[in-house]
Amino acid sequence: MIKKKWKSSDLFIHALVNKIIRVSLYTKFRQMTKYVAISLVAILLAACNSSKNPHSSSGQEEDLSAKELLQGIWLDDETESPLMRIEGDTIYYPH
């Protein structure tokens, strides 16, 4: 194996290039980190500032006649076993 002797100017250039590459990679990493952080904050703010409230009424009125038709015990057509019982807004399932 032949070892190459480095001149001092070659070593300086090599060290300088390595330094430039490290600084360049570091700045790219910092930029990417900054963009990711800004994106996450924007997504978080958009999610938190949503004007929709899942517990608020959606403007639709309750259909009382349909609700009354659903009340009672529901049976399976084939086995005649009870599937559920509906009372008001509550559905009860058998154990």
36-56 pLDDT, tens digit per residue, is 999 999 999 888 876 666 555
| Separation of alpha carbons 60 and 66, rounded Å | 14
**Which residues contact residue 82 at a Cβ distance below 8 angstroms, ignoring those fewer than 6 apart?**
73, 74, 75, 76, 94
pLDDT tens digits in sequence order for the chain, 95 residues long: 566 666 777 777 888 888 888 888 888 898 999 999 999 999 998 888 766 665 555 567 888 899 999 999 999 999 989 999 999 889 999 87
**Which residues contact residue 14 at a Cβ distance below 8 angstroms, ignoring those fewer than 6 apart?**
6
Q: Is the pTM higher than 0.85?
A: no
| Separation of alpha carbons 34 and 73, rounded Å | 59
